[in-house]
Structures are given as structure tokens and as C-alpha cells.
Structure 1
Amino acid sequence: MRPFRIQSLAAAALLAGACTLAGPAAAPAAPNRAALDYVALGDSYSAGVGAGDYLTEAANCLRSSRAYPALWAAAHASSFSFAACNGAKTGDVLTKQLGALSGRTNLVSITAGGSDASWAKVMGLCALPGTTGCLSAIATARDYVDKTLPANLDRLYSAIRSKAPAARVVVLGYPHFYQLHGSCSRGLEDSERAALNAAIDHLDGMIARHATGHGFAFADARTAFSGHEICSAGPWLRSVEVLDLTESYHPNASGQSLGYLPLFTRAA
């Protein structure tokens, strides 16, 4: 038995029941800046789940003041709408977040697709003893990415462009979860960790192709987080957080400020 797996299963169960989606939060215009209307869309990775210091106006969405969109906006944007929300699938972004966009929007960031691929369910099955169930769940997620996700991404990206025709749109990918042969002494087998990383490669590749196909920029988080995955000496991702399980498998504050923020800054 691997005790870590039981904790991971509980974490994944909470992740699967992610929040009720709320509307975007609008920050006041910053003084003495060129007009730059920035809108942050997407799921938990853009909301900042795992980074702490959550904003009370949208508690269920777990939007963090330490998330890369909030950090970037504080330094650069004259107006900022923080619409990203924990648990958001591409359909949720399409129906609940795009009201923040307009013809005045100059810049959009987004992470979306991971929740569609049911990563919470995958991690729950990978938490169980044995590798067969984990590898089977990963294969099912990859099949979804191949057969269903492309149309979802195209609908979302087309709607973003329609509502914000002049905006630069930056689509950010997801980092690898694990450093292989790293410091973890328990939990998943390295074969499972490798398969999870390969599945993220597959997901990011699909997102990148469709983003660039719509004329959007793609920013690769795998390179930004390289050397700082779970099981590394200085991880920028949370493993299982027993005291706050929802934060498990998300970037911590360093992952947002040292990983995603410089990545987005270069792309923006």
C-alpha cells in the first residue's frame, strides 16, 4: 500500500467537485498608464488556485491576488477584468466569462482544456494501488483530447476573437506535474509519472496547434517550470495538500510569480 495514494485520491475527489462559477472581477483603472484593457480568462491555473491570498469577491472561484494575471495587471494594465475561475471547462469560459470582452479589449490571457480532459478523475484513479487503472485513465483522457477537445477549443477561440477583434490573445499551456527520478520516496510509480507528463505533452500540443491556427500566441509552461516540478528540489507545483486539498496539483505562489508571470510577460 502507498499511503500517499490515499491522500491523492481525496485531493482528486475535491478537485473534481470544483466550484460554482462566478462572474468576473473588475479592478479599477491604474493611474498614469497607457490605455490597456486586459482580460484574464480560464480555469484554476489562471485563477491562481494553489497560490493563496484569495480575493473575497469571488471566493468560490479561488481567484488569487498572487496569480499571474493579477500580478501582470498591477504593473501594466489600465483596466483589468479577472474572469478566470476554478473548475472552468471550455464551455464554462464560453458561456460565463466572455462578457468581460469587448472591442476595447487589448489583451487576453487564457488557460483552458485541462478540466475538459478530466484531470481530477485521472489523478483519482492514479492514486489507487497498481498502475493499470492509472494508465487506462490516462489513455481515456488522451482519447478525449483527440476526439472532442479540438472542436471545443475552436468554438471558444472563435468566440473570443469575435468579441475582442483587436486583442492580442495569449493561450498558456500546462506544466509537467512531475520531475522523473526525483526526490519523491512514495506515491505514484515513475512509469505513471512519465505517462502523466506525456499526456500533458499531448494536451499542450493540441492546444498549441489550435491556438496558433486562430492567430493566437501559445506560451509553453513546460519550459517555464522545467526543474521545478513535483519531486524536484524546489517545486513550483503543489503535491497533495492535506489541510487544503483543493490546492493539490496546482502552481504555488512561486509557480505563478516565477513560472507563469515571466512566461506571460514575454508573450504579451
Structure 2
Amino acid sequence: MRRSRLSVLLGSILLAVVTTLTGAATAHASQQAAADGYVALGDSYSSGVGAGSYIGSSGDCKRSTKAYPYLWNAANSPSSFDFTACSGARTDEVLASQLGPLGAGTGLVSISVGGNDAGFADVMTTCVLQSESACLSRINTARSYATSTLPGKLDNVYSAIRTRAQNAEVVVLGYPRFYRLGTTCIGLSEAKRAAVNDAADLLNSVTAQRANAHGFTFADVRAPFTGHEICSGNSWLHSVNWANIGESYHPKAAGQSGGYLPAFDSAA
């Protein structure tokens, strides 16, 4: 009799354990299945400025159907796609206006941000229009910001993303080097071009460090853009575009599809 009661008790315990484990596994599987939406955040390099084919409803954000987020969505068909990246966005603007779609159903997030915080547009304007010494001075100011202030700004954004999208894989994309060096090229001097490239490398280094610290993946686009910089003869980047100045120093459609999309696809 005691043996029979013991068998019943052990059977009940085993059933409870199996039921609990099965329920947990089912809940986890359901959570994973639900978390497959894609949210694309960030600045003009993610919205697709320079690639053309802008979505009318995106207004001044200039989101392009040729931008890497739009191309990735078309090729992979996630359960949902929210494209909130916006031209000119800084870290504070990402925090204020782009994170709304993030949630439990978000499985993938992409973002490029930090260049505008460091004064990218002003750096390039100074280097194009002013002397070599003025250009190098402005770049040094940007470098100082990138090492002293930008890390905390990036931390704020990355922490907010993780808080809102706990199940998501987050891919942080960097910036290309802008110039091919050692070639004859009309426009900026070799010293200016080298300083701009070095500043891009520093920005990528800072961004990668903060992304890795948050457990995010950093997607480096410099390799695919090698051989396609300005002055290469086959540039994937706009140089100064006087007809549409806002597209200057941004990837063309070829830069989005041939540079950004492969880097993101391999990391996602």
C-alpha cells in the first residue's frame, strides 16, 4: 500500500514537472515566433538619402525604397516592418521620435547614428569651402566630441532599444571611408581627404565599442566600400552635389545595395 501511494506521488510529481517544462518551452517558442518584426532606426545613411526613390509620405526624412532596410524587408518578409530612420537624425532625436514601434514582437533592429552628433555636415562644409588648417581644426573638434561625449549618447540610445525590445537582435551599422587616397582627384587635398577618412575610422571605432558593450552586433561597411570611395573612379558615394546639396557625401543606390545591404545581411 505504501509502495502504491509512493508510486502515485512520484507519478504526480513527474507529470507536474513535464507539464511545467512543456509549458515553458511552448511559451518560449511562441515568444520567439512572435518576435520577428523588423524596425529600422537611425540617420540619413539608414533612411537612404542619396539613393533616390524617396517615399512621399516620409517627407524631409527622405526614406528611400533603395535604402538597405527597405531592400532587406523586401527580400526577407518579416512579420512587420517599421522604417523610422530619418535624415539628419541625432541620438536625441532617435530617442524622442523613432523608438515607438519597438516592442515584444521586435526580432531585429538596425541603426546607424552618431555622425550628425559629431558634426558631420559641418565638417564636410568646412573642408570643402575653407582652408586646410580650418578643415583639420574642425575635424579635431569632431574627434574630441566622438571620444568624450558621443559614447554616452550612444549608450542612451542602445539602452533604450534594449529596454523596449528585449527579444531583438540589434545590428549597429557604421560609416564608410569617404575617399580613395593616393590618386589624382579634383577637390579636397590629400591631407584633407586623409583626415576625413581617419575621423570616419575613429567614429566607427567608438560606435563598435559601445555596440559591443551592449551585446549588439557592429556591421562594418568599410570593406565593401573599398574600391568604391570618392576619387576611386567607381564611387558608391556622392561627392559635392550642388544640385541637391543634402545628398552630398551619402551613399548612392549602389552603395546601399552593394555596401550596406550585404554588411547588414551578414550580421542579421
- Per the alignment, residue 187 of structure 1 pairs with 187
CA distance in 1, matches of 2:258, 2:47: 16
Cα 1:238/1:74, change in 2 over 3 Å: same
Please report the TM-score for the alignment, with normalisation by the length of structure 2.
Answer: 0.86
In the TM superposition, residue 36 of structure 1 has moved relative to its aligned partner by 2.6
SS at match of 1:106: strand
CA distance in 2, matches of 1:67, 1:140: 30
What RMSD over aligned residues (CA atoms) do the two structures have, in Å? 1.3
- Per the alignment, residue 57 of structure 1 pairs with 57
Which blocks of at least 5 consecutive residues in structure 1 are unaligned? 1-32
- Per the alignment, residue 121 of structure 2 pairs with 120
Residue type matched to 1:233 in 2?
G
Residue type matched to 2:131 in 1?
G
CA contact (8 A) 1:183 1:233 kept: no
In the TM superposition, residue 223 of structure 1 has moved relative to its aligned partner by 1.1
- Per the alignment, residue 202 of structure 1 pairs with 202
CA contact (8 A) 2:39 2:110 kept: yes
SS at match of 2:234: coil
SS at match of 2:129: coil
Q: Which deviates the most, 114-123 or 175-184?
A: 175-184
Please report the TM-score for the alignment, with normalisation by the length of structure 1.
Answer: 0.86
- Per the alignment, residue 36 of structure 2 pairs with 36
CA contact (8 A) 2:230 2:238 kept: yes
Percent identity reads 56
SS at match of 1:199: helix
Give the count of matched residue pairs.
235
SS at match of 2:100: helix
Residue type matched to 1:217 in 2?
T
CA contact (8 A) 1:183 1:232 kept: no
CA distance in 1, matches of 2:62, 2:182: 32
CA distance in 2, matches of 1:238, 1:148: 29
CA distance in 2, matches of 1:104, 1:182: 49
Which blocks of at least 5 consecutive residues in structure 2 are unaligned? 1-32
CA deviations 1:136-184 (Å, max 9, x no partner) are: 0000000000111011000110000000000000000000010012352
CA distance in 2, matches of 1:115, 1:129: 20
Runs of 4+ in 1 over 4 A off after TM superposition: none
- The structure whose Rg is larger is 2
SS at match of 2:63: coil
Q: How is 1:34-183 mapped onto 2 (pairs within 5 angstroms)?
A: 36-76=36-76, 77-183=78-184
CA distance in 1, matches of 2:90, 2:71: 23
CA deviations 1:75-117 (Å, max 9, x no partner) are: 1122100000000001100111000101110000000000000
CA distance in 2, matches of 1:226, 1:34: 38
CA contact (8 A) 2:225 2:259 kept: yes
Q: Which has the higher contact order (CA 8 A, sep 6+)?
A: 1
- Per the alignment, residue 15 of structure 1 pairs with none
In the TM superposition, residue 129 of structure 1 has moved relative to its aligned partner by 4.1
Residue type matched to 2:109 in 1?
V
Residue type matched to 2:202 in 1?
H
Q: How is 1:16-27 mapped onto 2 (pairs within 5 angstroms)?
A: none
Cα 1:60/1:75, change in 2 over 3 Å: same
CA distance in 1, matches of 2:79, 2:262: 19
CA distance in 2, matches of 1:187, 1:49: 22
- Per the alignment, residue 212 of structure 1 pairs with 212
CA distance in 1, matches of 2:184, 2:107: 43
